[in-house]
Amino acid sequence: MGFIQNVKEEINIIRERDPAIHSNWEVFLYPSFKAVMMYRTAHKWYVNGHYFWARWLSQKAVRKTGIEIHPGAQIGKGLFIDHGSGVIIGETTIIGDNCTLYQGVTLGGTGKEQGKRHPTLGNNVMVSAGAKVLGSFTIGDNCKIGAGSVVLEEVPPNCTVVGIPGRIVKRVKTDMPQELLDHNDLPDPIQEEIGCLELNEAELGNRVDSLEQEIEQLKTLLAVTAGANVN
């Protein structure tokens, strides 16, 4: 794909996924646009063995955008990095098509692996603000990673993961298009647990009330029986 075609594609991606943008010209001010375009060039240099210059360009991109993408990472088409400050994408990361990353996301390693050290993201994956995906495992297609989550193990396709460490809290059987990967529409497992506890507490309360009523009825019956025996 040529340079002009890359630019057009990036403009379309940003305009589709960011409702705050009003014109194509604004795209050229976006950190995501600058970081991804510079990554594409740096990656070509890296693949061709020009490691120093590839790293030089990637570090220049970091200083300009706050987004660090190692030139060795393999990134498919349609990547959108919203805001982007603090985003880190490691050397052996693989990202599929039409993925979205928010500010503060880390696709990194644990410091223990050799070779493939960073995660693989499938297609249509959304990683919310501040989430950390650490290790050489796969996040399946159409997954959502909740804000602030720390994911340390493989996630099957079509799942929603939240928490520290990340837990699967929702799984659907059908694929979800990118526009439905809304990071505001994530389950709250803590609130769900609290809701279950409240229901259990209400049920126990009702059972205690019922037992107290039965005890009072038994007391009344015993009193009546005792009075009848005296007479």
pLDDT over 70 at 184, yes or no: no
How many other C-beta atoms can be found within 10 angstroms of the C-beta atom of residue 19? 7
Whether the bond between 165 and the residue before it is cis, its omega within 30 degrees of 0, is: yes
Query: Distance (Å, rounded) from C-alpha 127 to C-alpha 149?
Result: 9
pLDDT over 90 at 193, yes or no: no
Q: What is the pLDDT at residue 99?
A: 92
How confident is the model over 46-84, as pLDDT tens digits?
Answer: 999 999 999 999 999 999 999 999 999 999 988 988 888
Q: What is the pLDDT at residue 88?
A: 94
Q: What dihedral angle (degrees, nearest 10) is formed by the CA atoms of 218, 219, 225, 226?
A: 150
pLDDT over 70 at 21, yes or no: yes
Q: What is the pLDDT at residue 102?
A: 92
Domain 3-187 sits in CATH at: 2.160.10.10
Complete DSSP assignment for the chain: --HHHHHHHHHHHHHHH-TT--SHHHHTT-HHHHHHHHHHHHHHHHHTT-HHHHHHHHHHHHHHHS-EE-TT-EE-TT-EESS-TT-EE-TT-EE-SS-EE-TT-EEE--S---SS-S-EE-TT-EE-TT-EEESS-EEPTT-EE-TT-EE-S-B-TTEEEETTTTEEEEE-SS---GGG--TTS---HHHHHHHHHHHHHHHHHHHHHHHHHHHHHHHHHHHHHHHHHH-
pLDDT over 70 at 231, yes or no: no
Compute the average pLDDT of residues 190-215.
81
Closest CA to 31 of 12, 10, 51, 16: 10
- Exposed (0-12), middle (13-18) or buried (19+): which is 55, by Cβ within 10 Å? middle
Compute the average pLDDT of residues 85-102.
92
Global confidence as pTM: 0.72
Q: What is the pLDDT at residue 176?
A: 55
Share of the chain above pLDDT 70, in %: 88
pLDDT over 60 at 45, yes or no: yes
Query: Distance (Å, rounded) from C-alpha 21 to C-alpha 15?
Result: 6
Query: Distance (Å, rounded) from C-alpha 231 to C-alpha 225?
Result: 10
- Exposed (0-12), middle (13-18) or buried (19+): which is 70, by Cβ within 10 Å? buried
Closest CA to 58 of 36, 28, 82: 36
Compute the average pLDDT of residues 179-207.
71
pLDDT over 90 at 223, yes or no: no
Q: Where are the domains of the chain?
A: 3-187, 188-231
